[in-house]
Amino acid sequence: MKIVVCHPKHFDYNLELYQPLRDSMLDSEHEILLPHDPPEKDIKTKDEIEAADLVVAEVSLPGTGLGMELGWADAAGKPVACFYRSGSQVSSSLKYISKNLIEYSDSKDFIEKLTAYLANKS
């Protein structure tokens, strides 16, 4: 499955999102696109979203780019799974983009919940 990961840029996504994904079995089981990996790579996220099977969005914090990416995913009819860290106040507008809003406590819990979500999609 081709998975595009979207997130706001104002948190340590390398440590909290990218590294846990790369260290997990999910990285070998799926084609996972991390838009800022490596940071100097110029990726047309809109094109990648249109070619994806799934968009995974980390929505704990707001972000203009994240909102655009979620809009592209919605317009392309792509399924979106939104993950947010416990205690975050997520936008109520997300309910129009995804029926899957999944709370997690830390990076390990994120990987476990994403793994379970993907197992249920198969």
Q: Which residues of 9-37 are buried (b: 16+ CB within 10 A; e: fewer)?
A: eeeebeebbbebbeebebeeebebbbbeb
pLDDT per residue as tens digits for the range 77-98: 999 999 999 999 999 999 999 9
The range of the structural domain enclosing residue 18 comes to 2-121
Residue with tokens 């392309």: 76
CATH of the domain at 81: 3.40.50.450
pLDDT per residue as tens digits for the range 17-54: 999 999 999 999 999 999 888 766 778 899 999 999 99
Instruction: Give pTM, 2 decimals.
Output: 0.94
Task: Answer for the pair 6, 69: CB distance below 8 angstroms, yes or no.
Answer: yes
Could you give the number of structural domains in the chain? 1
Strand order in the sheet with 100-104: 31-33, 2-6, 54-58, 80-85, 100-104
